[in-house]
Chain A
Amino acid sequence: QFLLTQPPSISAAPGQTVTISCSGNNSNIGYSFVSWYQQLPGKAPKLVIFDNNKRASGIPDRFSGSKSGTSAALGITGLQTGDEAVYHCGTWDTSLRTELFGGGTKLTVL
């Protein structure tokens, strides 16, 4: 059971825009910075967004991050087939004193 809630899957056509949500509480997302990771099939996770809305090095501006209250979101515009991956959100929980990850969202680009 993951304390950060993400939709298990989402799909969209090439060129479209998607938003992946990550919901937590006041001890985690509401308190700490949020990061997002892209995990291509069979590969290690790769940092996409850090500190809620900053793009990691080499990440195109089609990717964006936002946070409001106890929820965060990853937006991807102009979808490409190469964006097909599992996306994980992560944040620190100050009450549990642990790093938390969401269960991951599998993005399918049809």
Chain B
Amino acid sequence: QLQLQESGPGLVKPSETLSLSCSVSGGSISSSSYYWGWVRQPPGKGLEWIGSIFYTGSSYFSPSLKTRATISVDTSKNLFSLRLSSVTASDTAVYYCAMAWGSTVRWFDPWGQGTLVTVSS
């Protein structure tokens, strides 16, 4: 059974870079069928897609975040990572990693449990 687990700092200072990793277990991140994505949810608000990556490294992003977001994949460690630069308080959110079906996301399943990242000095 595929499982995803996010990890990274829970507190980031304004203007710095947020860095999170997502470890994949129970399956290979190098599957040719799936993409790997990041979705965030500000406290009390709805979901926002950040971006997705294929195991080859091909990535694509939400237009609103593409200038600040980077996603990378490490097939040797079976994990993928998110970096979001120049963060502000509006980037405070629970960040989820998830497996995505298709480059034009048809669905996300499964999801990691999520990790809260707070942007504050």
Contact = CB atoms under 8 A, between A and B. Distances in A.
Interface stretch (B7-15, B67-75, B106-114): B106-114
A98 B61 CA distance: 7
A12 to B, nearest CB: 22
A50 B109 contact: yes
Nearest to B49: A99
Q: Tell which of A44, A45, A88 has the most Cβ of chain B within 10 Å.
A: A44
A44 B63 contact: no
Interface residues of A, number: 26
A88 B112 contact: no
Interface string A11-29: 0000000000000000000
A47 B108 contact: yes
A104 B41 CA distance: 11
Contacts of A46: 109, 111
Interface in A25-48: 32-33, 35, 37, 43-47
Nearest to A101: B47
Interface string A88-110: 10101010111111111000000
Nearest to B109: A47
Interface in B52-96: 52, 60, 62-64, 96
Contacts of B109: 46-47, 50, 56
A88 B47 CA distance: 8
A100 B108 CA distance: 12
Given A44-B96, A45-B47, A101-B48, A90 B105 contact: yes
